[in-house]
Structure 1
């Protein structure tokens, strides 16, 4: 018995379309989360108490909220306030908002662990404010935080599977459609697992390369 592998092969285009959707959505969400998380990390490290406290509340709220529940709030809850998003937009904003908090916390921790002598040297050379952060703080923080950021990007790929609940045509959605129509749950879902593994392995390879580079900043 092939346990439905022949059906998977026949419908491989559906799985590959789902894989492409998952990859594109995850990559765009990761890029946006990195940008917004970087901005938020500077607020977390700010000496201004009110903005820093508000940022901390947001980070803690996201870290304590199940991603599935956040997606429900965005897709089903916001229309109550006149804000309506299609399923793909809702899924995208959910991924970005949720992972912005995690990226910000990762960068904040990396920033807090940097030697204070680096900042003092920057001040001595005339770097202050945004220029100091952009040129002397963030580059080594990015490199030293690369392994943790890589783990978070893998989590984004896995979180994207939850978007099947709002009919986003990603990989899990495609696999579920195939198994629903042909009742081959093992073949359909194991194929999806293997494709997720390929994507996450590619991220791990990139992170490993960045980790080797980051060693010079330790």
Structure 2
């Protein structure tokens, strides 16, 4: 068993490359999906039925479709419509679209949890539309949503492992290639689990620090 792990970690350059690619995928997907989620949230809260229904329809569609199936749709179905993307671009697009819906729903919940008096007071002082959202609603909304957003970031990390099915060279794909070469699946996949755990643990620590900061700002 020890020899198996020595064999796995003898492939450290490939493992490190896959791990860095996973970090890049997660970082790009997390930042972009959060930005799209921020844009979607006012649409979910819109008083215009058409806008609100469209935004809710998109979010419901993403939340009800299995992520693996959605990756297949992006990677295999889009080329039949004349839209051709690389493996990496397809994976990032799938992560962003899928998780934007979750981000928007989480932010909507944080928005609804804001004190109504502060928003009405801001309107009384002349804040409307974009300025109201940017200066009055967005900062406390993000502060309240930090724990939920941290959980969603961990979900993005786990979703990224599915991209191995479209040959994106992330951590799971690299470990699968190594175990296929040396026929030691236990050591390979356990090592992958440990690396994913370390990454998620770092996210949890960062989330806890940001949550503590947000609580101090509110007091």
Fold shared, TM-score > 0.5 on shorter chain: yes
**Residue 13 of structure 2: aligned partner:** 13
**Residue 211 of structure 2: aligned partner:** 211
Equivalent residues in 2 for 1:55-204, closer than 5 Å: 55-204=55-204
- 1:213 is displaced (CA, Å) by 1.7
Alpha-carbon RMSD across the aligned residues, in angstroms, is: 1.0
- 1:26 is displaced (CA, Å) by 0.4
Q: Could you tell me which runs of 5 or more consecutive residues in structure 2 were left unpaired when the two chains were aligned.
A: none
Q: Distance in 2 between matches of 1:95 and 1:124?
A: 40
Q: Distance in 1 between matches of 2:205 and 2:100?
A: 23
Equivalent residues in 2 for 1:40-51, closer than 5 Å: 40-51=40-51
1:110-148 Cα deviation digits (max 9, x unpaired): 101111101111112221110010001010010110000
Q: Is the 8 A contact 1:103 1:149 kept in 2?
A: yes
1:62-104 Cα deviation digits (max 9, x unpaired): 0000000000000001111111111100000000000000000
Is the partner of 1:114 in helix, strand or coil?
coil
**Residue 35 of structure 1: aligned partner:** 35
- TM superposition score normalised by structure 2: 0.97
Q: Distance in 2 between matches of 1:206 and 1:41?
A: 24
Q: Could you tell me which runs of 5 or more consecutive residues in structure 1 were left unpaired when the two chains were aligned.
A: none
Stretch of structure 1 that moved more, 33-42 or 9-18? 9-18
- TM superposition score normalised by structure 1: 0.98
1:28-74 Cα deviation digits (max 9, x unpaired): 10000000000001110111110110000000010000000000000
Q: Is the 8 A contact 1:143 1:214 kept in 2?
A: yes
Q: Distance in 1 between matches of 2:214 and 2:125?
A: 24
Q: Is the 8 A contact 1:3 1:186 kept in 2?
A: no
Is the partner of 2:127 in helix, strand or coil?
coil
1:136-187 Cα deviation digits (max 9, x unpaired): 1010010110000000001001100000000000000000000000011111
Stretch of structure 1 that moved more, 9-18 or 21-30? 9-18
Moved over 6 A (4+): none
Q: Is the 8 A contact 1:33 1:103 kept in 2?
A: yes
